[in-house]
C-alpha cells in the first residue's frame, strides 16, 4: 500500500510540473532557456556557493531566472529616453495637451510625461466594475449564467433593442458587451449590482480617487494626480500580474480587450498580428474634451504597458495623436529589440546605436 501511494504521489508531482511548464509557455511564450540548460552553465569549476544558488529558493535573483522563464543576459529594454524625447517633441510640435505613461512590464523600466495632469477616465472606469463582477463570481455570489435584471431607467438612448425586449440578460452577455463594445447600458446594469465598499477598496488599491473616477467634477478633476495615466495603468498591470483575480479570470478580461469596437490597429497603423489588449475612454463636457487609451502591447516577448490621454483637442486630432504615439512606442520597441539582439550576438563589442 505504501509503495502504491508513493507512486501516486510521484505521478501527481509529474502532472503538477507539466502544468506549470504549460502555463509558463502559454503566458510568456516558449521559455527562453530551460532550467536544466541554466544549470549546465554551472560546471565543476564553479564554487559551491554558485552551485547552491540554483537550489536556493531564497536566492537573490528573480525567481523567473531559476524557473527558466527569463533568459540570463537577455538585454531587456532598460530605458525609454529616446522614445520619451520623441513623444515630447511630437507633443510640442503639434501643440497638444497630453499625458503619457509607458512601462516595460518585464523589468519595470518606465517613463511619464505630464503625470500631474488630471485625467477623467471615462469608459476606462468600466474595467474596475468588470473586475469586481468577477470577484463576485470567484466568491460564488454570481456565475456567468446568472440572470441580471434589466432596469428600464438604466437603458441609454443608443442601446440595442435587446435591452427593451428582455427583462433579464446573462451576466456574461452584459460583461462582454460592456468591455468589447463599451456598452453604457451594460455598464449601468452591472454597476447597479456592485457593492460600493468593494469599489472603494479596489480604487484605493490602485491609488485612484474612488469618487473622481466615476463622478465628473470639473474643479476636482483638472489637477488631480490621483486620476493620472500612471495610476490608471495600475488597473492593467493588476490584470497582467493577476494580483486581484484568479489567473483564468484575468486572462478572460484581457482577452475581451483584444477585440473591441475601438480599432486601435487602424488608428495606430500597426500590423493586425500584434496583440493589443486595450480600453479607450472619451469624454466631452463643460468645454473640456478628453480621449484616453490604455493597454498592453504584446510584441514578440516584449510586454509594453501604455496609457495616453489627450485633452482639449477635437476627436479626430486626439485619435491621430494617440495613434502616432502608440506607433512610436511599437517602432521604438521593435527597433531597439533588434539592435540589442545584434549587440548581444556580437559579444558586447560596442554599444548599440540609438534606434
- In whole angstroms, what is the distance from residue 27 CA to residue 20 CA? 11
Say if residues 239 and 250 touch (Cβ distance below 8 Å): yes
**Is residue 26 pLDDT above 70, yes or no?**
no
pLDDT, tens digit, for every residue of 283-292? 888 788 899 9
CA 61 vs CA 70, 232, 311: distances in Å = 11, 29, 42
- Reported as a pLDDT band with limits 50, 70 and 90, residue 6 is very low
The arithmetic mean of pLDDT across residues 181-199, rounded, is 94
Grid coordinates belonging to 199:
469599489
pLDDT for res 58:
65
pLDDT for res 348:
55
- In whole angstroms, what is the distance from residue 299 CA to residue 316 CA? 27
pLDDT for res 137:
97
Grid coordinates belonging to 250:
484575468
The arithmetic mean of pLDDT across residues 2-27, rounded, is 41
pLDDT for res 27:
38
- In whole angstroms, what is the distance from residue 218 CA to residue 279 CA? 23
Domains present along the chain, CATH in parentheses:
2-66 (no CATH), 81-142+193-345 (3.40.710.10)
The count of other CB atoms within 10 Å of the CB of residue 57 is 6
Average pLDDT in the chain: 83
**Is residue 16 pLDDT above 70, yes or no?**
no
DSSP state of 94: T
**Is residue 102 pLDDT above 80, yes or no?**
yes
277 by Cβ neighbours in 10 Å (0-12 / 13-18 / 19+) ranks as buried
CA 3 to chain centroid, in Å, comes to 47
- In whole angstroms, what is the distance from residue 193 CA to residue 149 CA? 10
pLDDT for res 343:
78
- Reported as a pLDDT band with limits 50, 70 and 90, residue 126 is very high
**Is residue 15 pLDDT above 50, yes or no?**
no
More confident residue, 28 or 264: 264
Q: 47-56, 163-172, 270-279: which range is least confident on average? A: 47-56
The arithmetic mean of pLDDT across residues 342-353, rounded, is 62
- In whole angstroms, what is the distance from residue 26 CA to residue 69 CA? 11
> Among candidates 213, 193, 217, which has minimal Cα distance to 205?
213
pLDDT for res 236:
98
- What is the pairing mode between strands 97-104 and 110-113? antiparallel
> Among candidates 219, 208, 226, 223, which has minimal Cα distance to 117?
223
- In whole angstroms, what is the distance from residue 258 CA to residue 278 CA? 6
pLDDT, tens digit, for every residue of 132-174? 999 999 999 999 999 999 999 999 988 888 999 999 999 999 9
More confident residue, 104 or 212: 104
More confident residue, 298 or 52: 298
Amino acid at each position: 500500500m505504501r509503495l502504491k501511494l508513493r507512486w501516486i504521489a510521484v505521478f501527481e508531482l509529474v502532472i503538477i510540473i507539466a502544468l506549470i511548464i504549460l502555463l509558463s509557455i502559454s503566458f510568456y511564450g516558449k521559455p527562453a532557456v530551460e532550467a536544466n540548460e541554466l544549470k549546465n552553465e554551472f560546471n565543476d569549476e564553479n564554487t559551491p556557493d554558485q552551485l547552491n544558488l540554483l537550489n536556493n529558493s531564497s536566492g537573490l535573483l528573480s525567481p523567473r531566472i531559476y524557473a527558466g522563464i527569463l533568459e540570463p543576459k537577455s538585454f531587456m529594454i532598460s530605458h525609454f529616453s529616446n522614445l520619451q524625447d520623441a513623444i515630447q517633441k511630437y507633443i510640442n510640435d503639434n501643440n497638444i495637451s497630453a499625458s503619457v505613461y509607458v512601462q516595460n512590464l518585464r523589468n519595470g523600466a518606465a517613463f511619464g510625461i505630464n503625470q500631474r495632469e488630471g485625467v477623467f477616465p471615462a469608459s476606462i472606469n468600466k474595467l474596475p466594475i468588470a473586475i469586481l463582477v468577477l470577484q463576485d463570481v470567484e466568491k460564488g455570489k454570481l456565475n456567468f449564467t446568472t440572470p441580471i435584471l434589466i432596469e428600464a431607467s438604466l437603458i441609454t438612448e443608443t442601446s440595442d433593442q435587446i435591452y427593451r425586449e428582455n427583462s433579464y440578460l446573462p451576466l456574461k452577455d452584459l460583461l462582454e458587451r460592456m468591455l468589447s463594445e463599451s456598452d453604457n447600458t451594460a455598464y449601468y446594469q452591472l454597476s447597479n449590482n456592485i457593492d460600493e465598499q468593494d469599489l472603494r477598496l479596489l480604487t484605493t488599491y490602485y491609488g485612484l480617487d474612488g469618487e473622481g473616477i466615476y463622478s465628473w467634477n470639473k474643479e476636482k478633476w483638472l489637477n488631480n494626480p490621483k486620476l493620472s495615466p500612471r495610476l490608471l495603468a495600475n488597473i492593467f498591470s493588476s490584470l497582467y500580474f493577476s494580483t486581484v483575480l484568479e489567473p483564468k479570470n484575468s486572462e478572460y478580461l484581457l482577452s475581451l480587450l483584444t477585440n473591441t469596437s475601438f480599432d486601435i490597429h487602424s488608428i495606430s497603423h500597426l500590423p493586425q498580428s500584434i496583440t493589443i489588449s486595450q480600453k479607450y475612454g472619451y469624454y466631452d463636457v463643460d468645454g473640456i474634451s478628453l480621449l484616453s487609451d490604455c493597454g498592453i502591447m504584446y510584441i514578440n516577448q516584449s510586454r509594453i504597458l501604455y496609457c495616453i490621454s489627450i485633452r482639449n483637442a477635437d476627436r479626430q486630432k486626439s485619435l491621430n495623436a494617440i495613434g502616432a504615439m502608440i506607433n512610436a512606442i511599437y517602432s521604438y520597441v521593435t527597433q531597439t529589440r533588434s539592435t540589442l539582439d545584434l549587440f548581444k550576438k556580437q559579444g558586447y563589442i560596442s554599444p548599440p546605436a540609438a534606434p
